[in-house]
Structure 1
Amino acid sequence: MTTVTAPVTPRDRVARLAAGHIAALQRGYLDDQSHAVASLARLRRGAGREAGQLPDLWALIDTGPLHETPDGARPLSERELVRAEDALHVALTLYALHQQSRRSGMYQADRPDRWRGLGAAVRRMMKPGEIDEPVHKRLVRAGTAPDLPVLAQRLRDIVVLLRREDIQLDHALLAGQLYTWQWPSGADTVRREWGRSFHAWHDKPKDGAAASAASAGSDTTRTDTDKDAS
């Protein structure tokens, strides 16, 4: 039987590239490697700002792989490249802001048994069984952003809250969504994904294991560090 492999979409490529960059930065940061700490400090300055405003960041976000053509893919057009680069910029700078002064990794991959999409992350800020309207409104405002620069600003506000509550996020998934957002009807697609993620989060663990693990982790997690003073 012949196996048919699904084509690699531009969104897939953006998400995978973001995952590689963020995972490497996170490992370095948590290991207190000076280059990673410095890179995140520089990237944080770009959170909520357009990619072209800070040339200093260009060398930190390697978009070279987007110009390559992997098996099962096609070369990206100029328009696709620009939108992919913008999506990567927003996602990586938001990650850098999210990780600041956190001693556990704020980037965690989303999966069915561990929802880490934006909607689920926002839902986790709320008390079990309740909808916090001010918090929910921030997600709604992000969903109604008219363009990527405004969306980046609104996501920045959400990420600040997630960092305060020590809630993780799949920033690579977000990068792919930010790429999709920029295309006609793309915002509708992303809003549906955020809504699905929001409602898929279950705030009551099936047993006490998850709660115990979270409690144990909080005892060893340091939330302030001098290395993020910049």
Structure 2
Amino acid sequence: MTTTTTTAATDPPPSPPSAHERRQSLGPVGAAADARIRRLQYGYRADITEAVSASARIRRGAGKAAGTVPDLWGMTGMDQLDDATLTGLDVDRAEEALHLALTLWTLHQQGHRDANMHVRGPGLGAAVRRLMPEGELDEPIRKRFVRAGTAQTLDSLAQRLRELVSLLRGDAVPLDYGLLADQLYRWQKRAHRGEIHRAWGRSFHLGGTRRADPAVTDTA
């Protein structure tokens, strides 16, 4: 009897990384988020039942703390981290960052079957800047972005990011969720918040001068 090995339906076809992806590096948390979201995103856009169902289940975890929804155990990317990698990480912070990044992406991607809302490159500030007319500032949107930068707790940051993601979804503006996951991991340690805020602000300003470049990034 001949045994045939098949590839899972939710596996995206292999493709070479873009020039930007080759020069853009992610930490272990960001790489785990990127791997999980790429797989789900491919399946969601292809209307594969398993991926559509998984995305809906993860979306229902928005606003809840990581690990508190048993239905999401094993679905938000922690399984992408091997034991050796976990040894060098704060597991609680990694779990929160992955949970928040994945739930935000599911909110962002919902209803978009013709485009990827997770795209390597555009950081938070650059994505928000693309919501505004070129060369102009939209003050209400800018104030929402500033509020995200002044959040003092992860819960308040998550709420303010959901507000921004809702705007990005409405205009189909993509975001790099791998980069955001790395930044969320570091943001949870107060000593790193300054560098994350500077990165968000810098990418916002660069987004205004390089609006047509989807590879604008906010690597700290």
Give the partner amino acid of 1:175.
A
1:28 paired with 2:43, answer: yes
Conserved 8 A contact 1:143-1:187: no
1:60 to 75, 82, 106: 75
Conserved 8 A contact 1:67-1:76: no
1:85 paired with 2:95, answer: yes
Matched residues in 1 for 2:110 and 2:34: separation?
Answer: 18
| Residue 52 (structure 1) shift | 3.4
Aligned to 1:223: none
Conserved 8 A contact 2:93-2:188: yes
Conserved 8 A contact 1:12-1:176: yes
With over 3 angstroms needed to count, the CA separation of the structure-2 counterparts of 1:194 and 1:59, relative to structure 1, is same
TM-score (norm 2): 0.80
The C-alpha deviation readout for 1:159-184, integer Å capped at 9, x for no partner, is 01100011000011000000000112
Matched residues in 1 for 2:211 and 2:144: separation?
Answer: 23
Matched residues in 2 for 1:65 and 1:91: separation?
Answer: 14
Percent of paired sites with the same residue:
48
The C-alpha deviation readout for 1:76-120, integer Å capped at 9, x for no partner, is 35xx0110010000000000010000021100001xxxxx10000
Gaps of 5+ in 2: 1-25, 215-220
1:101 to 105, 111, 129: 111
Between 56-65 and 159-168, the greater mean CA deviation after superposition: 56-65
1:162 paired with 2:168, answer: yes
Conserved 8 A contact 2:126-2:205: yes
SS at match of 1:129: coil
Aligned length: 187
Matched residues in 1 for 2:101 and 2:133: separation?
Answer: 27
TM-score (norm 1): 0.76
The C-alpha deviation readout for 1:4-34, integer Å capped at 9, x for no partner, is xxxxxxx710000000001001111111110
Gaps of 5+ in 1: 1-10, 111-115, 211-230
Conserved 8 A contact 2:77-2:98: no
State the 4+ residue runs in structure 1 displaced beyond 4 angstroms: 203-206
